[in-house]
Chain A
């Protein structure tokens, strides 16, 4: 216990000394999120913060040190996160490599694959994207068709992926391909390849938010070495499911108040509506809606903490991420509906400086995808009903 207290005080001192002031302010727009990669687009403070944290392995504090992690115990990892939250430190690196591929590699990768990829993920040197969905394989993901023909030491991959987040900015992709037509789930393999490979092209998809975070990705006779396959041939579905659990965990975190401190919803409501002479929001029904929302948001914060604790202790039900994903994304949609209601006509401005380029409206529209991506809310409820409540099919 004393050791943990020491760790905590040393960590706080180190964070105080190394977290740049710009990295202790609330995240207000997409530009405030650091993704790293071969062609990073750093804002002031982002590079220093990323390098400082990566030097200690603290972008992935609980990964083993030989793979670029911090080698921290669950209790130390929790203490680090709490100290970061207390100082309002931003997340140093956003990465599908950390939240999705990394855990899958740690479980299913060979030693060579781990040593090759994990340290680069930890340092933010390679930006990853995910090749799962296809035009005819959404909620029914296992019906995917992108094919990988056996060509000796490599596969030849052909097909199309869709909803590949940031494929146009990513360096590598982790991708589900069909290596056998004999079985639906048992004919899928999990492969990695460089987005700069011959035959790979991407096309952004414009969304209702006016942004294009997603792409269509086309594969035309792409050569993928067999050494880049994770786990056995035709066993990719196991890896995919494991990774989806982590994706759902990551997406569910969106229901929590933003990192970097402050509560944009409450601050926004006060700015737009004002307080009455008793210090209460001048719109009583908006105030009540926000207050009841905050009860759920804080309770969900406790749920997230409990889930992480249970996960680290190996006590979490394997279908629990589905519950978290469902609740967290529905909550996040509710948060942004309230934020728009509070902002009124100001929040509707699409391009003005005052609205920070329509940040609130675009964020609101973006959240509508939360309950679709990574498996729809209805798919998550199906999983909870069948695997946790054990209801009949």
Chain B
């Protein structure tokens, strides 16, 4: 398979690009932020995503979805990133759909996701930096389980219908085995969900599980063998976050290059200065390398290749590095105006920081590659 978008994927990209730029440009985020909107995104837009078929991109055709892959999901995510559109697409239509694939929960939740009614959240982080350890305890209790512990950095939890929780059913915190994934109905379980506004204006919650009783059918996959499902969720989430980061970094770069062509100082457009041309060209190179890494990860994931895991780690790390550079250079090359709230470039910097942290940052993934390579 050649490493570029084919004609159908390009058509989907053009559709997504036009639709998202029209309905959810950076001004949409700014309006939600200015209104201190408690939802953090537009439910109407989520409905429209469903009407466009976007929410069903990864859902199999047999279950009424589009039956497409991570390349196609990434095409949509890149445009979400480029427009800074607040959306539960990554957690719901990508990570949750992948986690539930092939389980009884799919039949229950896919219709809501397809209709643009269901919002899913991922309760997998327990500390400030993403790590592999899981401490939140799920003890057997009667016909089910009793959960106690805390999770954090759970985006969309405050409005979620479905929360996927990684919990420990045996062993100790650092063990790979003994992990189980649960699908919780957020509306009926008595969870203590505390949303906090993040730097990028999105909302993420700290959740306390105080002896929450769950029925055994909340288990996704097998008890104690949830690491496999969790890894599937993470691979999808990381690849998706990489695609969104690509859009954030690319959007910031486009703003910056456009500014270099219009801003005048010393009687010339500043884009004619070699010092700035070289910085911009270097940034372009970093973004192109990141773009190739993302497409490689998406294709290998779609092909169920044994090399997909490493490619996903490379994609998440590389987009973290390249997009961080893009937003930093964006502010610097915009000069003073880049520091103002009125201008959009700062929004790109904030969003990039959140996505770079999500599902493990560049250091986490470089470390993982090193461990797999035996050093």
Interface of A with B (CB < 8 Å)?
74-75, 78, 263, 266, 269-270, 275, 279-281, 287-288, 290-292, 294-296, 298-300, 302-303, 305-307, 309-310, 312-313, 315, 323, 326-327, 378, 380-382, 384-386, 388-393
| Further pairs besides A74-B2, A290-B370, A326-B282: 6, Cβ < 8 Å | A266-B373, A288-B363, A302-B292, A306-B4, A306-B292, A382-B274
The minimal Cβ–Cβ distance linking B329 to chain A, given in whole angstroms, is: 13
Stretch binding the partner chain, chosen from B42-50, B80-88, B283-291: B283-291
B257 at the binding interface (Cβ < 8 Å): yes
Q: Which residues of B contact A313 (CB under 8 A)?
A: 2, 4
Q: Which of B274, B282, B321 contacts A295 (CB 8 A)?
A: B321
Contact A302 B296 (CB under 8 A): yes
Q: Which residues of B contact A287 (CB under 8 A)?
A: 370, 375
Contact A294 B366 (CB under 8 A): yes
The minimal Cβ–Cβ distance linking B198 to chain A, given in whole angstroms, is: 26
Q: Which residues of B contact A378 (CB under 8 A)?
A: 278
Q: Which of A74, A75, A393 contacts B272 (CB 8 A)?
A: A393
Contact B293 A303 (CB under 8 A): yes
Question: How many A-B pairs with Cβ below 8 Å?
Answer: 146
Contact A303 B284 (CB under 8 A): no
Q: Which of A78, A291, A300 contacts B366 (CB 8 A)?
A: A291
The minimal Cβ–Cβ distance linking A236 to chain B, given in whole angstroms, is: 27
The minimal Cβ–Cβ distance linking A371 to chain B, given in whole angstroms, is: 13
Q: Which residues of B contact A266 (CB under 8 A)?
A: 373-375
B124 at the binding interface (Cβ < 8 Å): no
Q: Which residues of B contact A389 (CB under 8 A)?
A: 257, 277, 280-281, 284
Interface string of B312-332 (1 = CB under 8 A from A): 011101100100000000000
B56 at the binding interface (Cβ < 8 Å): no
B371 at the binding interface (Cβ < 8 Å): yes
The minimal Cβ–Cβ distance linking B228 to chain A, given in whole angstroms, is: 24
* Residue of A whose beta carbon sits closest to that of B274: A382
Q: Which of A270, A294, A309, A391 contacts B3 (CB 8 A)?
A: A309
Q: Which residues of A contact B362 (CB under 8 A)?
A: 292, 295
Query: Taking A280-B375, A302-B296 as contacts, is the C-beta distance between A384 and B285 under 8 angstroms?
Result: yes
Contact B296 A291 (CB under 8 A): no
Could you show 9 A-B contacts with beta carbons less than 8 Å apart?
A: A74-B2, A292-B366, A299-B290, A300-B289, A302-B293, A303-B293, A305-B3, A305-B292, A306-B292
Contact B3 A295 (CB under 8 A): no
* Residue of B whose beta carbon sits closest to that of A295: B317
Contact B280 A303 (CB under 8 A): no
* A287-B369 Cα distance, complex, nearest whole Å: 11
The minimal Cβ–Cβ distance linking A272 to chain B, given in whole angstroms, is: 12
The minimal Cβ–Cβ distance linking A248 to chain B, given in whole angstroms, is: 13
Q: Which residues of A contact B311 (CB under 8 A)?
A: 298, 302
Query: Taking A298-B314, A305-B292, A306-B4 as contacts, is the C-beta distance between A381 and B281 under 8 angstroms?
Result: yes
Contact B260 A391 (CB under 8 A): yes
Dominant SS at the A interface?
helix
The minimal Cβ–Cβ distance linking B208 to chain A, given in whole angstroms, is: 33
Contact A326 B293 (CB under 8 A): no
B127 at the binding interface (Cβ < 8 Å): no
B365 at the binding interface (Cβ < 8 Å): yes
Q: Which residues of B contact A270 (CB under 8 A)?
A: 374-375
Q: Which residues of B contact A393 (CB under 8 A)?
A: 272
Contact A280 B271 (CB under 8 A): no
B295 at the binding interface (Cβ < 8 Å): yes
B107 at the binding interface (Cβ < 8 Å): no
Query: Taking A295-B362, A381-B282, A385-B280 as contacts, is the C-beta distance between A391 and B271 under 8 angstroms?
Result: yes
Q: Which residues of B contact A306 (CB under 8 A)?
A: 3-4, 292, 295-296
Q: Which residues of A contact B39 (CB under 8 A)?
A: none
* A303-B288 Cα distance, complex, nearest whole Å: 7
Q: Which residues of B contact A294 (CB under 8 A)?
A: 366, 369-370, 373
Q: Which residues of B contact A390 (CB under 8 A)?
A: 261
B132 at the binding interface (Cβ < 8 Å): no
Q: Which of B277, B296, B310, B366 contacts A391 (CB 8 A)?
A: B277
Contact B366 A288 (CB under 8 A): yes
* A382-B311 Cα distance, complex, nearest whole Å: 31
